[in-house]
């Protein structure tokens, strides 16, 4: 029997402990925070690589070292790394146990794309892929699970659980006055930006020019002007 609420509560503990406020996750940082070193398969000798592939095509943990295949899709790497963190956080002793594998997968899916964050950011599984970095298959699973989560709330008089309230409070930004799933800085003036993947803020938005030298010069002048106004 999988205790989904317990697993979700453990992901929230990680967010709080590691001050996670923005997606996509920095998986390597999270692993290191919990005492797990990371080693790429490609950095090992051919003989050791062969041995690693015999154990797993994706990743495995040995003596607090996560060995992972860095030649697979980045979204698959992310999920694999969080799967290994799940084993650690959930205190699994038998990694090959079927229930442990399901729990680690559930942990990975929820920590990469918490359902409440999907609610505020995504209209379909394509959004989940783009915003949180999941593969198409994993994004489909996460979005379907989100729809089940939403239906449960709707059929219970729109009341959310204490756990979901805690999720909301963790990601609610008082300055922005909203739930924030993405926090970044404008590359030009350094202003804080919320829930956008643009590289420049509304004030500094640069027209998406063609590659002509004239347009490049205009871009440079706009950046120079912004630096003069707001400081480098």
Residue 1's pLDDT band, with cuts at 50, 70 and 90, is: confident
Rg of the chain over Cα atoms, rounded to whole angstroms, equals: 21
* pTM summary value: 0.85
Per cent of the chain over pLDDT 70 is 88
| 133-137, 209-213, 215-219: segment of lowest average pLDDT | 209-213
Cα 104 from Cα 144, distance rounded (Å): 18
Q: How confident is the model at residue 204 (pLDDT cuts 50, 70, 90)?
A: confident
With beta carbons less than 8 A apart as the criterion, state whether 86 and 108 touch.
yes
Q: How buried is residue 42: exposed, middle or buried, by Cβ count under 10 Å (0-12/13-18/19+)?
A: exposed
Residues 126-157: pLDDT tens digits? 999 999 999 999 999 999 999 999 999 999 98
One-letter-per-residue 3-state SS of the chain: CCCHHHHHHHHHHHHHHHCCCCCCCCHHHHHHHCCCEEEEHHHCCHHHHHHHHHHCCCEEEECCEEEECCCCCHHHHHHHHHHHHHHHHCCCCCCCCHHHHHHHHHHHHHHHCCHHHHHHHCCCHHHHHHHHCCCHHHHHHHHHHHHHHHHHHHCCCCCCCHHHHHHHHHHEECCCCEECCCEEECCCCCCEEECCCCCCCCCCCCCCCCCCHHHHHHHHHHHHHHHHHHCC
- CA dist 191 → 51, 98, 204, 220, 222 (Å): 48, 47, 10, 19, 16
What distance in Å separates the CA atoms of residue 176 and residue 194, rounded to the nearest whole number? Answer: 7
Q: Provide the residue count of the chain.
A: 232
Contacts of 133 (CB under 8 A, 6+ apart): 23, 24, 25, 74, 75, 78, 112
Reported confidence tier of residue 203, pLDDT bands at 50, 70, 90: confident
């Amino acid at each position: 029997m999988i205790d989904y609420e317990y697993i979700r509560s453990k992901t929230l503990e990680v967010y709080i402990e590691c001050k996670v406020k923005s997606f996509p996750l920095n998986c390597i940082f999270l692993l290191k925070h919990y005492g797990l070193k990371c080693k790429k398969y490609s950095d090992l000798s051919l003989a050791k690589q062969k041995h690693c592939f015999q154990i797993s095509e994706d990743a495995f943990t040995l003596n607090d070292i996560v060995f992972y295949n860095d030649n697979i899709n980045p979204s698959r790497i992310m999920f694999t790394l969080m799967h290994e963190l799940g084993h650690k956080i959930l205190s699994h002793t038998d990694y090959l146990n079927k229930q442990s594998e399901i729990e680690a997968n559930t942990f990975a899916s929820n920590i990469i794309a918490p359902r409440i964050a999907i609610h505020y950011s995504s209209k379909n599984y394509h959004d989940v892929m783009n915003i949180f970095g999941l593969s198409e298959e994993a994004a489909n699973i996460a979005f379907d699970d989100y729809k089940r989560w939403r239906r449960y709330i709707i059929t219970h008089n729109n009341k959310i659980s204490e756990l979901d309230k805690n999720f909301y409070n963790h990601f609610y930004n008082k300055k922005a006055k909203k739930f924030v799933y993405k926090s970044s800085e404008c590359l030009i003036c350094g202003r804080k930006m919320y829930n956008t993947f643009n590289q420049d803020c509304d004030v500094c938005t640069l027209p998406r020019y063609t590659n002509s030298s004239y347009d490049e010069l205009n871009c440079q002048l706009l950046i120079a002007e912004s630096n003069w106004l707001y400081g480098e």
